[in-house]
Chain A
């Protein structure tokens, strides 16, 4: 019994980690398949996504969820490309932009905290390659 319990626990932990991205994957796939269908696509070869550092998405987990999700669809052989969008903040003291190093957006020049996020929240389906 003890030997059987352990994998189940691990499975639950994995499910919990990935559940965050499974929802995103399903929304992305709906947009992808819908977009491809409007173009009368027979097959989707490439799905290009733009994922901001501040979107709250773990790329590995999202890729895993997408690979499961595309099965038995016209996107089943698609290559999934993820373009990472680095966060960009604006420092009102220096009047300059900077890329923050972590979740605390500290201007590297003057140390002012910034709440002006210019880029990094993106979560987009940018383009598809189809036949």
Chain B
């Protein structure tokens, strides 16, 4: 269950390598047990450790819980972070609303950088492996997570994708999240950086309407700059609004169609790789 919007993550999701068969995942399968064996703390519903009867008139007592609602996800996210650090991989969580151009940006980035750096991709969508099929044509290992009813990727889905990727020579992992500006903001995947895409056709007020996700961004990529005139977009106002809610974010304007701004994006990626 998504703690943000209420969509279901109880049902099985599936993880698929683009050239392979869907790998169905549910809470009984081997990978889930594997994680338990490795000691991720988890709660069991029926842990009656001290079974004793109660006095009818037992006094009320206060017990502290102090548990974050996101505690389980955050623990697995830290495990992912450790995995990335051990393998010297930079993981980037790509977030945006549907249709802002995440897959198009990745196609172009893979095409331009694949000879310079080893890249892997995990892509999440509620249904279909269409994005993975597109990205798979660019000679990078692409893992599609079909999230089913879930509106976001969580740390466990990412963890369960790891053994599908040959990490040999990989330095960069793009995690293309489900298109959604609300729920994915709350789920740490263990990434080193968050990149939020905002297409200039979406309207100048988007950062003000969805401040939470922008406040977590390291970089905001303004995409589809080639449509600036057609969309009558006030780019200055968009940038002003991004800066107002997310002063920490570096803003890079790009167009995959015209190549404008891509070098600045690649420069940022290499800075992250060398940092």
Contacts and interface: CB of A to CB of B under 8 A. Distances in A.
Interface of A: 19-24, 26-28, 30-32, 34-40, 42, 45-46, 54, 56, 103-105, 113-115, 117, 122-131
A35 B58 CA distance: 18
Nearest to B213: A56
Interface string B1-42: 111111100000000000000000000000000000000000
B182 A123 contact: no
A35 B63 contact: yes
B6 A21 contact: yes
Contact of A56 (B54, B186, B245): B186
Given A20-B182, A23-B1, A56-B4, A114 B247 contact: yes
B274 interface: no
B256 to A, nearest CB: 28
Nearest to B9: A23
B47 A38 contact: yes
A129 B65 CA distance: 11
Contact of B60 (A22, A30, A113, A130): A130
26 contacts: A19-B5, A21-B6, A23-B2, A23-B5, A27-B1, A30-B43, A31-B65, A31-B67, A31-B69, A35-B63, A37-B46, A40-B50, A56-B182, A56-B185, A56-B186, A104-B244, A115-B248, A117-B215, A123-B68, A125-B69, A127-B63, A127-B64, A128-B62, A128-B65, A129-B61, A131-B54
A17 B5 CA distance: 9
Given A24-B69, A56-B4, A128-B65, A40 B51 contact: yes
B45 interface: yes
Nearest to A28: B69
Nearest to B185: A56
B9 to A, nearest CB: 9
Contacts of A123: 3, 68-70
Contacts of B63: 35-36, 39, 127-130
A103 B54 contact: no
Given A20-B4, A23-B7, A24-B3, A126 B51 contact: no
Contacts of B212: 54, 56
A124 B64 contact: no
Contacts of A42: 54, 58
B49 interface: yes
B116 interface: no
Contacts of A34: 43, 45
Nearest to A123: B69
Contact of B45 (A37, A104, A113): A37
A22 B6 CA distance: 5
B190 to A, nearest CB: 18
Contacts of A38: 47, 49
A40 B247 contact: no
A126 B48 contact: no
Given A23-B7, A130-B60, A131-B58, A40 B48 contact: yes
A52 B251 CA distance: 28
B59 interface: yes
A37 B69 contact: no
Contacts of B69: 24, 27-28, 31, 123-125
Contact of B3 (A23, A36, A45): A23
A27 B3 contact: yes
